[in-house]
Amino acid sequence: MPLSDRRLALSPDAPDAPGAADDAVTPAPKPAKRTKTGGVEPAEVPKKPAALPKTADKLAKLGLKSDIDLALHLPMRYEDETTLMPIGELIPGDNAQTEGIVFENEIAYRPRRQLLVKIRDDAGDELTLRFLNFYGSQVKQMAVGVRLRVRGDVRGGFFGLEMVHPALRPVDDDTPLPQALTPVYPSTAGVSQAYLRKAIDNAVGRVSLPELLPEKIARTYLQPLNVPGLLDAVKTLHHPRADSDEPALVDGTHPAWTRIKFEELLAQQLSLKRAHEERRTRAAPVMPRRSLHEPDSLVVRFLGTLPFRLTGAQERVCAEIAAELTLPHPMQRLLQGDVGSGKTVVAALAAAQAIDAGYQAALMAPTEILAEQHARKLRGWLEPLGVTVAWLAGSLKTREKRAALEAAASGVAQLVIGTHAIIQDAVEFARLGLVIVDEQHRFGVAQRLALRAKAQNAADGARDFQPHQLMMSATPIPRTLAMTYYADLDVSTIDELPPGRTPILTKLVSDARREEVIGRVREAALTGRQVYWVCPLIEESETLQLQTAVETYETLATTLPELRVGLVHGRLPPAEKAAVMDAFTRNEVQLLVATTVIEVGVDVPNASLMVIEHAERFGLAQLHQLRGRVGRGSAASVCVLMYAGPLSQTARARLQTMRETTDGFEIARRDLEIRGPGEFLGARQSGEAMLRFASLENDAWLIEPARAAADHMLREFPDAVTRHLLRWLGAREQYLKA
């Protein structure tokens, strides 16, 4: 009867006898605690010692190593076992609890081996319980004459109402019902709810959970929230009282939840802010700003030769970056600006400041096409001013590569531009002082760290040395997200496009009108404009995607013999890729058929028409990036989103968003709405990994008070900060140090 034993022991009014299972949940490393609370004598070792380490291991895997861990392992949802439904009132589709006496118990063999147990309640109504997997002990547990309390999904079976594999326990006719909701805990396979409940119950009974928030903080930030004390909140969540606001417990808005979420968000903010402060203690190269009266300054000469005037927004972010580069602490700044807002020139100016100060700068981009284009652009700007630029990519011939490596290692190369190739082991820098990462969200944390680590030579003996880092992104992050994900980054935002851009008109066109679209392409090309044709994304198979691109290219080339058509995709040998892009840049190719390799950064201002096939398959950010390839010159641009129906609801929402707005911030906001924050940024690089209870979607309103409290605590109560972080994040805080 192990099942019934456990379930009985769980009910709140059952005597809390420290027994075998109790002991098992407190793993070996904590003996002192057990003796202190004094409950257990040596004789009471577990009855089945072999099972002990296994379950403790599994608990440890859930992160449950101490009583506090267990007490803070809060329910993910609740089950309502407070009421019994008469069998006669059950309706197929319900999840319900009912009770009856077994009057039949048989193993049937058709259509397959199964246990059929029938119960009848006091009113005489019957319910079949069906078990496809079962043990002999279960057959006995449900012997004829036993009263069973069962809970599960009601189905209309062949022989009347049934439940398949219901949760059940034998009861007496006076066994009380739980008075309140039953918690359901996050678990892994092998740790049953019953076991967890008991383990947690015991822990909550033993644990003292002192308030760690200083009185002043509690008064200022908690009191207005009207939330209970911590231990009180924890107890309420594990054992809701019969009179609690059940819907609020279930949907997470109960004051007890608010209390917990606040604590957690506070921990997250503290952690992020501390990482930010810690940066101030590390050393970085000082790069003084050269004044306009120093004509030999690269920055000054560069500005003098720039073919356009910086926008106000560009000037502002340049000033923010320039000022921070003069400090002896590493900059860690995110430069966000919509597609086409002109981030490259801002990066070039930062690089020039580093070079002026005698340091090297490195610029890493996620694709070879983009890196190549940066190289071309920055060379065009800086080489005439005497700067040596090196190019590093996977596709280089051995001899060229050796030359580039030498130039970086000797310091001859003042600016090194490339792809991931820059972070390979063989690459060394003489005096790397500034690291620039374009489209930073395309890189993992590890890759950014690897680039940062290349700077050791520039340390001049300084310990904890870091280069300055400038990360660029065209995927703007809404404010609440920025506060939680990037609280340890400083953010500069370009919120203005260079003048003279004409807005892009976006059209949604069913792919049934493909011929018509091809006609438009011909017309546009013949009037001197250039066109992108983006091939469908085929996520399941790169080969298929490639094949589609080649076929699309061939059909379009045949259908449009009067046009010069080019093809670019990820598998093209780099030299060919570069040749095609070059030809397109020089307007020798009028129609460029492309896969998403052109998604990031490609800049050909004369291109003013883009067709995206199967636009419904792309994500919003991707569509926005793609569309950003047009609208860069003075000609009015058009983006045709061709789609194949039927459209899913989210695909429709995405396409409509694209038609309605070209504002990257608005698109990011809607994208967040459609997808939720986890997917939006990829949890990998985010502070969300620290959140178990609070959700950025539902609890955004708590972020601001948590942030304010974090600032206050860091200022006045540094010891409380440490204790709070230990309790709520423990080892997980390390995760964020990247």
Using CB under 6 A, list all residues that contact ligand ADP: 308-311, 314, 337, 339-345, 474, 498, 601, 603, 605, 632
Q: Which does 622 bind (CB under 5 to 8 A by kind): ligand ADP, Mg ion, none?
A: none
Residue 75 touches which member of ligand ADP, Mg ion, none, C-beta under 5-8 Å by kind: none
Instruction: For ligand ADP, give the closer residue by CB, 269 or 344.
Output: 344
Quick one: 376 or 652, whose CB is closer to Mg ion?
376
Amino acid sitting at position 312? G
Residue linked to tokens 């980054």: 489
Distance CA 194, CA 184 (A): 9
308 binds, among ligand ADP, Mg ion, none (CB under 5 to 8 A by kind): ligand ADP
In whole angstroms, the minimum distance from the beta carbon of 369 to ligand ADP comes to: 13
- Least separation in angstroms between residue 606's CB and ligand ADP is 11
Burial of 126 (0-12, 13-18, 19+ CB in 10 A): middle
Q: How far apart are CA 212 and CA 719, in angstroms?
A: 10
Q: How far is the CB of 59 from ligand ADP (least distance, A)?
A: 50
Question: And the tokens for 9?
Answer: 């022991």
> Which of the choices ligand ADP, Mg ion, none does residue 314 contact, using the CB cut-off of 5 to 8 A by kind?
ligand ADP
Minimum Å gap between C-beta 498 and ligand ADP is 3
Name the minimum Å distance from CB 442 to ligand ADP.
13
CB atoms within 10 A of CB 420: 19
Helix axes 255-279, 718-728, angle to 10 degrees: 120
- Would you say 199 or 362 has its CB closer to ligand ADP? 362
Of 63 and 498, which CB lies nearer to ligand ADP in the complex structure?
Answer: 498
In this structure, are residues 638 and 505 in contact, taking their beta carbons and an 8 Å threshold?
Answer: yes
CB atoms within 10 A of CB 191: 21
Considering only CA atoms, which of 118, 114, 139 is closest in space to residue 127?
118
Q: What φ, ψ does residue 151 adopt, rounded to 5°?
A: -140, 130
The partner in contact with residue 345, picked from Mg ion, ligand ADP, none with C-beta cut-offs of 5 to 8 angstroms by kind, is: ligand ADP
Residue among 79 and 496 whose Cβ is closer to ligand ADP: 496
Which among Mg ion, ligand ADP, none contacts residue 337 (Cβ within 5 to 8 A by kind)? ligand ADP
Task: Check if the beta carbon of residue 340 is closer than 8 Å to that of residue 497.
Answer: yes
CB of residue 628 to Mg ion, shortest distance in Å: 9
List the single partner that 310 binds among ligand ADP, Mg ion, none, CB under 5 to 8 Å by kind: ligand ADP
Smallest gap from Cβ 432 to Mg ion, in A, equals: 22
Please say which residue, 11 or 606, places its beta carbon nearer to Mg ion: 606
Instruction: State how far the alpha carbon of 634 is from the alpha carbons of 35, 42, 277, 319, 449, in Å.
Output: 79, 85, 45, 28, 40
677 binds Mg ion (CB under 5 A): no
**φ and ψ of 382, to 5 deg:** -100, -30
Q: Which is nearer to ligand ADP, 498 or 619 (CB)?
A: 498
Q: Which is nearer to Mg ion, 334 or 560 (CB)?
A: 334
**Strand pairing class (432-437; 468-473):** parallel
The DSSP string of 240-268 is --TTS-HHHHHHT-SHHHHHHHHHHHHHH
3-state SS class at 618:
coil
For 648, the token pair is: 């899913």
DSSP, res 580: H
Q: Residue 135's binding partner, choosing from Mg ion, ligand ADP, none, with beta-carbon cut-off 5 to 8 A by kind?
A: none
Chain centroid to CA 662: 24
Q: Which does 677 bind (CB under 5 to 8 A by kind): ligand ADP, Mg ion, none?
A: none
Tokens for 322?
Answer: 């320039």
342 binds, among Mg ion, ligand ADP, none (CB under 5 to 8 A by kind): ligand ADP
Residue 438 CB, nearest approach to Mg ion (Å): 6
Q: How far is the CB of 53 from Mg ion (least distance, A)?
A: 54
Which CB, 186 or 633, lies closer to ligand ADP?
A: 633
Cβ atoms of 609 and 521 closer than 8 Å: yes
Least distance in angstroms from the C-beta of 196 to ligand ADP: 51
- Segment 583 to 612, residues that bind Mg ion, using CB under 5 A: 601
Chain positions contacting Mg ion, by CB under 5 A: 601
